A = this chain, B = another copy of it.
């Protein structure tokens, strides 16, 4: 009996893609030249169908990998060929946008940008935002607890999910589709599924928390020579902008130079005279008043020598320009022979010295050609993009050890946003104790005793 025939009683034929149909599918949107290697791909349209699929897989002991928008950066959507792939692409319905509750009820396959647009139509905001928004699906976003550019004001995905429906390994549906903000009726089970990278269950639906859409947006670039002054300025801005500060991105000098030297569209807002550049964003309720206030706060900071230089966006197109500099990482990567990315997290006061030491050590590693640091400094989250001359495992490991090497002692994390997947498995013990990892394994065994859900990921 073929694998696909197992599912013909519960799915229509166009919901089942057999081995011969996989040549145009892939496991990551960056690897569209590599055809997907899997037993089959199933396209369920309801939670019930996901449950039925998983009951069959459970009985047959077939491993499952879930495919959403395939934008995961740590290998969590990789297959080995032995897996049933459940793609959430047909679980793509926005079921409801409730303006009074300020919630949106969605299926797992809805693309983030579609959520943004549906919220905007009702004068609401789903604040989660990042580069891959045009492809990333909310099920994958939740299963990796994605972060992005506005965590500072609105929190990670975990803070934006009110209700969740997931299916566990044996097909049981764990549903808590509630619109309520507060629910202390025993264990908050949705926390198990958020951020566990598909290893404890398959997310099928969610209720998202929306915000009133902001009516103003302001941004500025500010320059510093000392990291300590960046931290002082973060506190100053947070205090003076009350709840309005929505972004505080730090760019190291050499990253800023590269980011602003590729095309006119990313020309530098401030000269290359300083060591650190910060992009601050505020979202508020009144463009004219908020812009005046923002300007005044910056002027006071200049007068009090809190900052060395500043330039404020005077128009929406300025804001777009300011953010394009920070967001278009291709301006860094395009000039690299090969690249290696990092997404670490560490206590804010230690970032300056930690990154400085990494720059110094990386400069001594043969084969490292470019090093660019930047990140969501208010969240303690720094990204590194490192250009290198070859793909040798030896070079990769040297770079890994340099970046991760000091995190354990200072209470950092090898993954602030992206997760562990397959790429960071070897480094998990650098930021989790053996007791923690043992408890994680117990949870995994409890909820997926046959190790069928996204096997080989995390552990």
Contacts and interface: CB of A to CB of B under 8 A. Distances in A.
Interface of A: 98-102, 123, 144-145, 147, 151, 153, 155-156, 158-159, 163, 168, 172-189, 191-192, 194-197, 211-216, 231, 235, 238-244, 283-286, 289-290, 293, 345-349, 376, 379-381, 411-420, 424, 428, 431-433, 435-437, 439-440, 442-443, 446-447, 458
Given A176-B433, A243-B243, A284-B242, A440 B183 contact: no
Contacts of A238: 211-212
A240 B432 contact: no
A443 B440 contact: no
A174 B440 contact: no
A413 B180 contact: yes
Given A215-B239, A239-B212, A416 B183 contact: yes
Contact of A185 (B178, B194, B231, B414): B414
Contact of A243 (B163, B244, B381, B447): B244
Nearest to A207: B411
A240 B436 CA distance: 44
A158, A211, A348, A424 — which one has the most chain B CB atoms within 10 A of its CB?
A348
B379 A182 contact: yes
Nearest to A100: B349
25 contacts: A101-B347, A101-B380, A147-B184, A151-B182, A173-B435, A175-B433, A177-B411, A178-B413, A178-B431, A179-B380, A179-B411, A182-B381, A182-B416, A183-B415, A185-B420, A185-B432, A186-B197, A186-B440, A188-B191, A188-B194, A216-B242, A241-B285, A242-B243, A242-B284, A242-B285
A231 B422 CA distance: 46
A292 to B, nearest CB: 11
A347 B179 contact: yes
A380 B186 contact: no
Contacts of A380: 101, 179-182
A128 to B, nearest CB: 13
Contact of A446 (B155, B419, B443): B443
Contact of A436 (B102, B163, B174, B347): B174
Contact of A182 (B123, B147, B435): B147
A147, A155, A436 — which one has the most chain B CB atoms within 10 A of its CB?
A436
A214 B238 CA distance: 10
A176 to B, nearest CB: 6
B239 A285 contact: yes
A141 to B, nearest CB: 12
Contact of A443 (B187, B289, B417): B187
A101 B234 CA distance: 11
A120 to B, nearest CB: 14
Contact of A189 (B216, B381, B440): B440
Given A100-B348, A242-B285, A418 B184 contact: yes
